[in-house]
Structure 1
Amino acid sequence: MPMIINAQQTATPRTYVDQVLDHWRQDEDAEALVQGARRLTRGEARRQLFRMGHALRRQGLEPGDGVGLFLANRVDSVLAQLAVHLIGCRVVFLPPEPGPGELAALVEQSRARAVVTDPLFAERAADAAARSVHAPVLLGLGPCEQPSADLLALAAECPEERPEGVPAPGPDEAITVLYTGGTLGRPKLAAHSHHLYDALLDLVQGDPDGDSPAAFPVTSPGTERVLAATLLTHGSGHLMTVQALVTGSVLVVLPEFEAGAALEVLREERITATMFVPPMLYALLDHPECVPGALPALRRVVVGGAASSPSRLRQAVDVLGPVLSQGYGQSEALGITAFAAEDLASQGALRPELWRSCGRAIAGTEIEIRGEDGTAALPVRQVGEVCVRGRTVMLGYYEDPERTAEALHGGWLRTGDMGYLDAEGHVYLVDRAKDIIVTGSTSDNVYSRVLEDFLLTLPGVRNAAALGVPDEEYGEAVQVFLATAEDTDVDPDAVGAAVTAELGDLYTPRRTVLLDRLPTTKVGKVDKKALRAAWTDAAPATR
């Protein structure tokens, strides 16, 4: 890997895009980006990137301007994101799910001067742009029916040389804005500076002192084939994209996740590394063709984005081999902890409780578990809110000082996740603060993560979600939703009895709803907001 030169070593600070281009100037005929039949070499990718940069500039964009990206998983989407940073503009990732009013509000709040949209989303993007008082330019990533310019057609007429005259970003300048998952309410826009990318570059190299795990260790730089299976416009997809490109790896883009299609791509493209959110991993494991030895090239699977079931993680190691690593982060802090595959497999065999851990702090990151006031650190193994400080932590919520003040205190981020630390610094997450179910005669806490982990150990249960529903006697009651395997009879009464026997009366579900599958967001997380809306008054124990 070419040496990374930081701002202290040169008068012109280098960015992660420079790191990508270092690779794309070498061995120009080697593959760089793949999506089905679309295969770009390094030379082709570099030239197309430069043309896109010029095309964006010709729309009147200047360094520091915001560019909204409302994109699907495509090779051109990867290049569009790089092009925005190449010309010194601010990337604003837009979520795929909100209604027109919410999308328009996010475009307006982000102060986007332009919105680049996939043709699939063009109608919604046009509506959002029309509602914004800033009247952003609408650019299609291909021909669109809506009145917008085709960025790819414009790029075809532009020079293949790198755009010049791009100033270095300031230390506190927002260059990337990530939306939060939105499963608990309206998404927020987490703004990050170039320090995020400095930290991500360090993560792929590891900690030279060996005190912190390498979140994304690269066995052989330039030889990895990385699959981007989650949304490119979400933090998880962006993380995998950057990790692949700055190491000279081939990036293979999966347009949409479906277990059979993902398995085929993993096998045919000889994928060595990828990232899945838990529901994706579970669906893959449940596919009949996912058997030991089916993916011999696979060396690393990062699981993150939501809490993972220990029983499912052990199953993944049994089927895929010791390739599984865990990561923990969020839009507000893209990297927080990591658990390397070799450590998880070896230490988990000796200490089974480690399967519940998402690892230790990555290099340059501090973690404290704090009480309700958000200031006092709690002792080892005492549950509180996970608070984080480090280079991956956001500057704040873009144009949202009130919510920024609630989340950031003295450089420490209040993550909203509840968990605890063990004596070795491993982090164990037990719930989202807003997902804790407060119930019982003494108003005790039921941690949905603990309950869901147990439910996933029961025969015939493929996925599980627990949430609190209004209850006249106790304020909230426990309700669970189970996705069950085909041709399997799951008895709700037996489920309740098993929960009571293992976790106690407090965790006993008042109602159990059986489904073929649980609803998920576009990011791949179980959509508890949808469950609350659709099933709070559902009839019990019916498909």
Structure 2
Amino acid sequence: MIINTQQTSEPLTYVDHVLEHWNKDEDAEALVQGALRLTRGEARRRLFRLGHALRAQGLAPGDGVGLFLANRVDSVLVQLAVHLIGCRVVFLPPEPGPGELAALVEQSRVRAVVTDPRFAERAADAAGRSVHAPVLLGLGPCAQRCADLLALAAECPDVRPGGVPAPGTDEAVTVLYTGGTLGRPKLAAHSHRLYDALVEVAQDSHGTVFPSVNPGTERVLAATLLTHGSGHLMSVQALVTGSTLVVLPEFEAGEALAVLREERITATMFVPPMLYALLDHPQCVPGALPELRRIVVGGAASSPSRLQQAVEVFGPVLSQGYGQSEALGIAAFGAEDLASQGAVRPELWRSCGRAISDTRIEIRGEDSTAALPARQVGEVCVQGRTVMLGYYEDPERTAQALHDGWLRTGDLGYLDAEGYLYLVDRAKDIIVTGSTSDNVYSRVLEDFLLTLPGVRNAAALGVPDEEFGEAVQIFLATAEDAEVDPDAVGAAVTAELGELYTPRKTILLGQLPTTKVGKVDKKALRAAWTSPVMATP
């Protein structure tokens, strides 16, 4: 029986596509997290109650709602509920320190912040610094002074909230944090066009994520953070195809392996360190996961040898994807293509694949709008529906990134004659590190380092690390006769920016190398970071 359908001539939103599935086969599983197992009917009713509870807080279509959430089923539902009532989702990831988180809340102009109880203290601090005074809501009981959104929702009707206008063509419906400078974050704003593209890609029977042509038969594991692009992408694509979404609260190789096996997972996404940890687990042997038919790997550079090892263990199930907060989907490589062509052309193991549907990729030189020929390295530029509207409330940086509908990604790479994309470096100085391959933004770290006594100049970069792919290393030019303690610097960084930003190594120098135009020469630093001359005092 179909109930609570959208009675409108407007085009369907991605939430409508989710509800098309949740309105049918009500007893089929929709959302799973450990012992919590929601059927489609239960998920739909819970979603509607959350929508009413949010609206009761005075939220109106177009208002921003910050989501400071951990990986859990209710986090998936509250994100859907924000879009259901026509509000703007603003993802607040856990890695920013107090100052950056407060700046993110302030700049995004959210009317409310929904926080996981474990993040409540940090959320209250950030909301308290905002002149917009957002309402603070807890996804459960919190020690802080915030209303329990789940308790409020339990008292609300389980019918779909009405009176929601269709989003405008250029209306921001989702905002993703993508770094920036200290106190001035960059927030990538996306319209509903992103979701239209994701629905089409997910429903394509030849897509890179879902190998089945039978909608609703997949069981998808969300292992990366739901408030990051990768986790959001994976959950949306699962839900719009009617797949069962299983949420992994925290990644640990043994636990992930158990969930993959016990929940009969057919598709998932891992960042490289997650995949490597899984491969290194003693129970990860050929045949251990017979139901698994697709693993998408993305979020950071992958080791070709490790990718080939994954195929040896799991079979031809490995896909690669490339995107960023400014364009969640850019290129992808299907598992069948990677397994078959990789044997003939080994260089393809280093490729990100080819442009996804309705997306164009060009390689352009510096200060040039003309596309470079095949195999010539330049900046990766992208055009398509997955490209952001711009940086929220930041026209200056939007103008720097977008030109005539083309996004300058800040990544360097080249295309081969068949259109396969290869990345060779990052121009944005983002360090991808940690067990979940989170982003450390060099500019944020450098800005903070320059506030410390005795520091005249600072540079942060990522250096190779066997465990996490990259590790944070900082170079400090100190004032003459200044006594700068590397351990104290590391402690100060951790206190202000969080453990993810803690430098693995601190190098003190009289001065930093510079380019001819006076900028810090990070290429020179990266080339010399193992030099005996550059030893930590």
Q: TM-score, normalised by structure 1?
A: 0.79
Tell me, in whole angstroms, the C-alpha distance in 2 between the residues paired with 1:424 and 1:480.
Answer: 32
Cα offset, 1:335, TM superposition: 0.3
Change (3 A) 1:190 1:63: same
Q: For 2:390, give the aligned amino acid.
A: G
Q: For 1:123, give the aligned amino acid.
A: E
Q: For 1:311, give the aligned amino acid.
A: S
Change (3 A) 1:140 1:477: closer
What per-residue deviation string (whole Å, max 9, x for no partner) do you get for residues 131-171 of structure 1? Answer: 11110000000000100000000000000100010000000
- Indicate yes or no: 2:477 matched with 1:483: no
Out of 415, 419, 440, which is 1:421 matched to? 415
Out of 364, 369, 380, which is 1:375 matched to? 369
- Indicate yes or no: 2:395 matched with 1:397: no
Q: 8 Å contact 2:264–2:291 — kept in the other structure?
A: yes
Out of 151, 158, 161, which is 1:160 matched to? 158
What per-residue deviation string (whole Å, max 9, x for no partner) do you get for residues 360-407 of structure 1? Answer: 000100000000114221110001000000000000010111111111
Q: How does 1:205-284 map to 2 (within 5 A)?
A: 205-206=203-204, 214=208, 216-284=210-278
Partner of 2:118: 120
Change (3 A) 1:215 1:291: closer
Change (3 A) 1:409 1:104: same
Change (3 A) 1:481 1:180: same
Q: For 1:95, give the aligned amino acid.
A: P
Cα offset, 1:478, TM superposition: 10
Q: 8 Å contact 2:103–2:183 — kept in the other structure?
A: no
Cα offset, 1:219, TM superposition: 3.6
Query: How many residues were matched structurally?
Result: 460
Cα offset, 1:12, TM superposition: 1.9
Cα offset, 1:433, TM superposition: 1.2
Change (3 A) 1:182 1:291: farther
Cα offset, 1:51, TM superposition: 0.3
Out of 106, 109, 123, which is 2:107 matched to? 109
Partner of 2:43: 45
- Indicate yes or no: 2:282 matched with 1:299: no
Q: For 2:137, give the aligned amino acid.
A: L
- SS of the counterpart of 1:43? helix
Partner of 1:441: none
Q: Which runs of 4+ in 1 moved over 3 A?
A: 181-187, 213-219, 475-482, 533-542
What per-residue deviation string (whole Å, max 9, x for no partner) do you get for residues 416-470 of structure 1? Answer: 110000000000011101459xxxxxxxxxxx99xx9xxxxxxxxxxxx9x9xxx
Tell me, in whole angstroms, the C-alpha distance in 1 between the residues paired with 2:198 and 2:394.
Answer: 25
Partner of 2:302: 308
Change (3 A) 1:481 1:422: closer
Cα offset, 1:11, TM superposition: 2.5
Change (3 A) 1:184 1:409: farther
Partner of 1:28: 26
Tell me, in whole angstroms, the C-alpha distance in 1 between the residues paired with 2:369 and 2:50.
Answer: 47
Partner of 1:85: 83
Tell me, in whole angstroms, the C-alpha distance in 1 between the residues paired with 2:366 and 2:112.
Answer: 41
Out of 141, 147, 151, which is 1:143 matched to? 141
Partner of 2:323: 329
Partner of 1:175: 173
Q: For 1:248, give the aligned amino acid.
A: G
Change (3 A) 1:204 1:159: same
- SS of the counterpart of 2:408? strand
Cα offset, 1:29, TM superposition: 0.9
Tell me, in whole angstroms, the C-alpha distance in 2 between the residues paired with 1:182 and 1:356.
Answer: 28
- SS of the counterpart of 2:152? helix
Tell me, in whole angstroms, the C-alpha distance in 1 between the residues paired with 2:232 and 2:467.
Answer: 32
Change (3 A) 1:71 1:410: same
Tell me, in whole angstroms, the C-alpha distance in 2 between the residues paired with 1:182 and 1:145.
Answer: 31
Out of 340, 343, 363, which is 1:346 matched to? 340
Q: 8 Å contact 2:179–2:187 — kept in the other structure?
A: no
- SS of the counterpart of 1:291? coil
Tell me, in whole angstroms, the C-alpha distance in 1 between the residues paired with 2:250 and 2:331.
Answer: 27
Tell me, in whole angstroms, the C-alpha distance in 2 between the residues paired with 1:409 and 1:58.
Answer: 41
Tell me, in whole angstroms, the C-alpha distance in 2 between the residues paired with 1:479 and 1:191.
Answer: 27
Cα offset, 1:479, TM superposition: 8.7
Partner of 1:71: 69
Partner of 2:283: 289
- SS of the counterpart of 1:188? strand
Cα offset, 1:6, TM superposition: 13
Change (3 A) 1:355 1:181: farther
Partner of 2:454: none
Consecutive unaligned residues in structure 2, runs of 5 or more = 434-439, 443-457, 469-493, 509-528
Tell me, in whole angstroms, the C-alpha distance in 2 between the residues paired with 1:326 and 1:109.
Answer: 34
Change (3 A) 1:186 1:477: closer
Change (3 A) 1:182 1:219: farther
Q: For 2:80, give the aligned amino acid.
A: L
Out of 181, 185, 188, which is 2:186 matched to? 188
What per-residue deviation string (whole Å, max 9, x for no partner) do you get for residues 90-142 of structure 1? Answer: 00001211122211111111110000000000001011111111100000000
Change (3 A) 1:182 1:77: farther
Tell me, in whole angstroms, the C-alpha distance in 1 between the residues paired with 2:6 and 2:335.
Answer: 29
Cα offset, 1:347, TM superposition: 0.4
Cα offset, 1:188, TM superposition: 1.8
Cα offset, 1:476, TM superposition: 10
Change (3 A) 1:423 1:186: farther
What per-residue deviation string (whole Å, max 9, x for no partner) do you get for residues 294-325 of structure 1? Answer: 11110000001111111110011001110000
Q: For 1:193, give the aligned amino acid.
A: S
What per-residue deviation string (whole Å, max 9, x for no partner) do you get for residues 266-295 of structure 1? Answer: 011110000001111111111111111111
Cα offset, 1:234, TM superposition: 0.5
- SS of the counterpart of 1:138? strand
Q: Which stretch shows the higher mean deviation, 225-234 or 99-108?
A: 99-108
- SS of the counterpart of 2:466? strand
Q: 8 Å contact 1:215–1:338 — kept in the other structure?
A: no
Q: 8 Å contact 1:244–1:251 — kept in the other structure?
A: yes
Tell me, in whole angstroms, the C-alpha distance in 2 between the residues paired with 1:369 and 1:88.
Answer: 37
Q: For 1:76, give the aligned amino acid.
A: D
